[in-house]
A and B are shown apart, each in its own frame.
Chain A
């Protein structure tokens, strides 16, 4: 298993990628790092909450279907602590009703899997621009 937690580079916009799927995790990490963002990862919901609270990433890219607590529960817990934390739900549950469900649960953006790489970069880029 590659290094799952890397110390955040304070100077950079840091994205926490929470996804139990190894392939998806690798893809996001590769694309976002190439786009110039700092990427940290979590393998499940509980880990995502821990990392988010301890390392305070700039934003979170959160899968939903994860073992333990799912992405939505993790988001609820994180938002309870850090309400302003931007969280993008990236899920293969990509029906219209799912998107509404995620937004209602508090997601800032929703990214349906599979996604075009440009879309991923655009969403993160927009949030990064908002932060500045």
Chain B
């Protein structure tokens, strides 16, 4: 208390402000003062007072003893103020002043002694007083210094609290704020007066309240003395702020109320930066590890929402013709009532330049609205707000400077939007744009690769790829199924053979070997066996595939199974050949027909020449009777010849067209031959006839009249071509179920170049002596037809100058025929 009083006294004496020097640190130093004025006044004052006392004493004539209390008073007063030395100085001077008048006046020694005593007392008293005063003053100064220090400390503390970046507060048992600092009010964006009416829990987001309540309970129960956590609090303006919270138990008050000290730090900046950084990292991760935009987009939109505190994200892509933006992907938090908004978005197409999205598309600049209720150019505003979506941000997705889409994010509360977030999302938009293009290219490449792979795998044509040293690198399934090998067996066993076969076939076609580098596709056909030993015709078409430097890197060989083609073409060639033959035959037939007509007309006209000429002679008359008879004979012969010619031609035509009727019956060939000999012998005298008939010759099945025609024709020919004295031999015998009949002569014989043609029409041997032998030229043709119609054969042996032998066969009749039995 004394210190405080002294302090108070001091403060009321500003003239002595210098005295607080030691107490109040920070005041100006003593040396800086003009010492001589105040010090002079201070030092002179006591002496002036004493002189005044002396003056009053002298005037009043009072004794020193009387004046002593006055001196003492002055000295004491002085002693309160002055240092010990000054007090002593004042006392000594006062004592001398007391003594001097006594000595001067020559007062009795008793007076002098008294004065001396007085002076001594005065000095002792002043010294003692000074000592006491100094001690007291020292104590007072110490107390003052302590009080000042406390006050300064309080002030500093107060300043610190108010200036702290940390929100500080006390809350009581009821959870209400009791004392809060400015910072806390700022963090919560609430009036400092309003806070004591609210509880800590009331300013905390609903989702975080349970955790907070639990912490408070633990603290109040004394289970813990300190709790730290991060949670979201509700600001006075409706926004939210993430805070770091430290709650610690404060020492209780006298009332017994437990107080909790709350320290809050606004970590929204940190949170936001963390969110931005994490979001960017997450999106980049998705972009780097994702293959396609379609796969990556849910994660990208999800990352935007979860890291940046948005609740719904939509990707709008520009149409191909760049007429409108349409929603391609939507992501939102669960659970949420965003269905209506989602459907509305999907039904919306945004033209360029219209609304927030349209402007972003047009300008390529991020647009953000913190509170949708303040804007009127967002078409889905009402539905968005109905779904609780309040803030929106839209940023462009840019590829090579062209906005190819817009990503729109919405938050289910009013959300602050900072520049750094805008900047970051601009960057994200560019990176996504690049990714989309890259993924498009990648997808195109993959598709192309897949297409080519599918062509390779599914091609019905076998395709193999071989390295530049001939090793089989790859083979499609068509090759394996064609050759019935698996790949390993094909590479190890079959391929080297195929390669060799190719080179051999290529050499035959003057083509380069397979590994020599094939400038353009060239095909060879080779014969190759499958694993099961089936032989195939393979067509191999090889092409060199150069690497980027143009050096042949590998060779592509297409393998086709052309077995069918090859066989078909062989068959075709055969068919063509036979067709060609048929055509040749037709031509020959045509030619034969023309020739036939020519020959027939020649034969007729030759015969008619005589008929016409001689009949004209007869008609003109003037002939001898003998001449007329001779000419009539010529005419008759030629007419007969024409008749026979016509008969033969008609017979032949009927036989060749199958219209000749054959009466089948049992014929005794020996009998037919005997009759022929008998008939010829009587009419022809120039030739001898012999017969060598097999008596056991069975009966044959045939048309008797036709067989007689055959035999007589052959006999007539033999006679015609035999010179006088020639011999004609007829013989029969049995051979393998046939009767073999021969008619041999010793005539002219048939030249070798004619012998193959004797059975053709009008092929008459006319060389040499045979020239004048008459005949229709159809006889042997008819004979051959008749024999063949009986199921037999006819052929001829001949040597020019030695004669000819015609042989023919006729099948024997069945065993049980009547004639057969008769012979048996």
Contact = CB atoms under 8 A, between A and B. Distances in A.
Interface in B727-779: 766-768, 770-772
B608 interface: yes
B608 A114 contact: yes
Interface stretch (A6-14, A17-25, A52-60, A74-82): A17-25
A22 B614 CA distance: 13
B598 A23 contact: no
B324 to A, nearest CB: 89
Given A23-B610, A24-B606, A27-B610, A95 B598 contact: yes
Contact of B767 (A67, A94, A116): A67
Interface string B587-601: 000000000001001
Contact of B606 (A67, A68, A92, A117): A92
A127 interface: no
B612 interface: yes
Contacts of A92: 601-606, 609
Q: Is the interface of A mostly helix, strand, loop or mixed?
A: loop
Contacts of B606: 21, 24, 65, 92, 113
Most central of A20, A27, A31, A68 by chain B CB within 10 Å: A27
Contact of B617 (A31, A112, A113): A31
Most central of B604, B770, B771 by chain A CB within 10 Å: B771
Nearest to A98: B598
Contacts of A114: 605, 608-613
Interface residues of B, number: 26
Most central of A43, A67, A68, A117 by chain B CB within 10 Å: A67
B321 interface: no
A91 B617 CA distance: 20
A44 B634 contact: no
Contacts of A44: 771
A67 B768 contact: yes
A30 B617 contact: yes
Q: Is the interface of B mostly helix, strand, loop or mixed?
A: helix
B553 interface: no
B269 to A, nearest CB: 121
A68 B770 CA distance: 10
B249 to A, nearest CB: 143
Interface residues of A, number: 26
Interface string A25-69: 011001100000000000110000000000000000000011110
B614 to A, nearest CB: 6
A43 B609 contact: no
Nearest to B770: A67
B602 A93 contact: yes
B771 A117 contact: no
Contacts of A117: 613, 616-617, 620
Most central of B602, B634, B767 by chain A CB within 10 Å: B602
Given A43-B772, A66-B771, A67-B771, A27 B609 contact: yes
Nearest to B764: A67
Nearest to B622: A34
A51 B800 CA distance: 28
Nearest to A120: B613
B772 A113 contact: no
B643 interface: no
Nearest to A28: B613
Interface string A112-132: 111111000000000000000
B578 interface: no
A93 to B, nearest CB: 6
A116 B620 CA distance: 12
Most central of A23, A30, A66, A112 by chain B CB within 10 Å: A23
Contacts of A93: 598, 602
B637 interface: yes
Nearest to A65: B602
B609 A115 contact: yes
A23 B638 contact: yes
A97 to B, nearest CB: 10
Contacts of A91: 602
A43 B613 CA distance: 19
B610 A24 contact: yes
Nearest to A22: B772
A65 B425 CA distance: 115
Contacts of A67: 766-768, 770-772
Contacts of B609: 21, 23-24, 27, 92, 113-115
29 contacts: A20-B771, A21-B606, A21-B610, A22-B772, A23-B610, A23-B634, A23-B637, A23-B638, A24-B609, A26-B634, A27-B634, A30-B617, A31-B613, A43-B771, A66-B771, A67-B767, A67-B772, A68-B768, A92-B605, A92-B606, A92-B609, A94-B605, A95-B598, A113-B605, A113-B608, A114-B610, A114-B612, A115-B613, A117-B613
Closest 10 CB pairs of A and B: A67-B771, A23-B610, A92-B605, A114-B612, A27-B613, A114-B609, A113-B609, A67-B766, A92-B606, A114-B608
Interface of A: 20-24, 26-27, 30-31, 43-44, 65-68, 91-95, 112-117
Interface of B: 598, 601-606, 608-614, 616-617, 620, 634, 637-638, 766-768, 770-772
Given A44-B771, A68-B767, 19 more contacts: A20-B772, A22-B772, A23-B614, A27-B609, A27-B634, A65-B602, A68-B768, A91-B602, A92-B602, A92-B609, A93-B602, A94-B605, A112-B605, A113-B606, A114-B612, A114-B613, A115-B609, A116-B612, A117-B616
